[in-house]
Amino acid sequence: MFNPVFLRLYILLTQLKNQILVHIMKANIHITGDGSHTLFVPALNEFYHSAKGAFSESMHVFINLGFYSVANSAIINILEVGFGTGLNCLLTFIEAREKKNKIFYDALEPFPLQWDLVSKLNYSSIISFRDSEKWMEKIHRCDTCRWINLTDRFSIRKRVMKIEEAELQAENYDLVYYDAFGPNAQPEMWKLYNFKKIFYSLKRGGILVTYCAKGQVRRDLQSAGFFVERLPGPPGKREVLRAKKKVK
Range of the domain at 141: 51-245
Residue 20 placed within a domain: no
pLDDT of residue 247: 78
What's the total number of domains in the chain?
1
Residue 21 placed within a domain: no
Residue 33 placed within a domain: no
Residue 58 placed within a domain: yes
Taking the C-alpha atoms of residue 242 and residue 62, their distance in angstroms, rounded to an integer, is 10
- Within 10 Å of residue 77's Cβ, how many Cβ atoms? 22
Note the pLDDT tens digit of each residue in 93-144. Answer: 999 999 999 999 999 999 899 899 999 999 999 998 989 999 999 999 999 8
Residue 72 placed within a domain: yes
Taking the C-alpha atoms of residue 137 and residue 144, their distance in angstroms, rounded to an integer, is 14
87 pLDDT exceeds 70? yes
The pTM score is 0.90
Residue 24 placed within a domain: no
Residue 121 placed within a domain: yes
Taking the C-alpha atoms of residue 89 and residue 58, their distance in angstroms, rounded to an integer, is 10
Taking the C-alpha atoms of residue 231 and residue 245, their distance in angstroms, rounded to an integer, is 17
Residue 29 placed within a domain: no
65 pLDDT exceeds 60? yes
CATH number at residue 99: 3.40.50.150
Percent of all residues in the chain with a pLDDT value above 70, rounded to a whole number: 90
Mean pLDDT of 228-244: 97
Counting beta carbons within 10 angstroms of the beta carbon of residue 129, is it exposed (0 to 12), middle (13 to 18) or buried (19 or more)? middle
Residue 160, classed as helix, strand or coil, is coil
